Structure 1
């Protein structure tokens, strides 16, 4: 062998030995040598002397319609080696990807966000069984239970929305990214709750939204914290069930009765934001006025009749009928609609004296019979009549008599 041939062989061996080895997973730089009609790009891998192929679907994270819109001959690309095609070193070729390299960088960024406790913002692209698919540069999944802080029947309302998420779990090697929007909402509510509890005080009048109803009251959302309106504070008139007068979603004005930060409790009232029922009662129910009312309560001395919401007047037993009745229950029942005449109005005392019999024709047979003569001195007793000043009000004797009657009844039992 000549000296020249020996030198050429040595140069070739040296050149081959200087070529970098290409391994699966390596990040390499490639120059576009050709754009094939088969929707792939041929690149030369720098420093290796070998070529690689980039399929159209591996050119970008987003789908590519026309490969020539993305690359041209001479472009330099950062690529990741997916697999080896062929066996011999000199003529071998490699399958390369831009998309997967971009995804790797995205995973690295998301990993850093996760470790720093930061959140990410991304659009919801799909609704699938069990949750939402999110495009965070890589595919993220939101379980249905983590989509909101309350039960959502139809997850389609989130499709197309860009939301903030907390990273719950990340595993790049398995392409697993679990996200939660619920955690974001709960954090926001907690911050808002703390702000409201620190600023709201008894006596404030604010607006809220009825969040839920129970048998004992209504919970009103004040913008991040719920307060309770007890059933007795919904209206001046008696309310049996909150659902009779309110529904979820109603906007209501409420007065703050008390705030207890330690128990995280706010007591509210709707009725105290409403006009007081007795305001202007002398104009709404002047003496002599005829009103329609509802019998609310029956006692031994009369019937309480509601003539306006929250306004009750007393029909004394002597004002129920012209004929004698033993108890109001003989002719009236709770819930009955009746016509009443206003006898007296005392706004300051919140009292109305009413009469039912004043609107009825007096029977001829009810004329008073002459009192029989007696030698004994007549007892000094007070009787009720249409002209009695106190006929429409409760007297001390009424109350004591009622109590004694109850006591006698109890002792007989």
Structure 2
């Protein structure tokens, strides 16, 4: 990643759990030219490439021996030994795009989020300010549990940790016993997590008070962490570990605000912290974007700062709907601030379903459902789940005279998408789907169903 950035390239990262269909969609939209992948994922990548015959790729495979390197690909060891030359003569400025993670924004299919060199460096500078540095320094040991293809793992954890000179211990994939071994061997002082992993710290019998007491900071993001869970973690750790939460989006390079132990009243149960340096947040009325709301009045969270994205790749309409001419970003989240400027996120205007902190766009699943010949129409919404936060549930209208098998529908959709997008909420056959006069699905009505 750093080598590609130094060469002036744009970098887009892909979820390794994606199906070949999902990978192909991102390769096509991002107009990718070079793919780096590992041995285990090569068959899936190859299948994605085959669906894009008009697009030329150079593929580099890691972990292949020379004799096992797939035909037409470059072995990574040969590349770094100088046997192959990927030469790019590209001049980039600070306002050019360096990262292109994919997000669904407030609606629709995943879109390429254009993060410039300037935005990325701004975010790292904001997180280096002592009040927001999470005790990261050359003596800190951090856990790299979260996936680096995701903006949280990519910027707030990996790049931020490297920029501060801290040690980052990365796991190839998350398994509880591997994590416990990591805690025993490396004795991390800081861990950036998501709520399901915080629950693991609380509930797993193999993770003891001894493990937790070594932490100086435990940070939770991507979804809200309940006050009860914070209390249970503090009770189990029996130490002065600082438990912090923050809030951000892919469109904000990962962070807008965070809690801080060095600022008065900046850690509160249920809160997401205070604004990062040079960041502004305003709360506007849901009925009138021009009407500003005061303390403890809930409305849409709108933000501005140097870490905000440039826009959505190849999507001027969505960019203009998200960003205004003054640089304010509509987050699609509902929240408020209190008298101490602590931000609280309470709900979402946007249609996204948050599964274990990952975004799931209902429109993507609805498109797959409508492609099934027996389905006349479909709608998807999120329903609460004890472990994952939310999971997708589908409501479908069969074509006239057709009797649908819900289990088969569910299995078909699950075969087309990554695991966190599976219809774990089930499939329900209905006579009608609530919509507005213009055809927009009324998801709040779906939730009431």
| Structure with the bigger percentage of strand | 1
Is this a same-fold pair by TM over 0.5? Answer: no
Q: TM-score, normalised by structure 2?
A: 0.19
Q: TM-score, normalised by structure 1?
A: 0.20
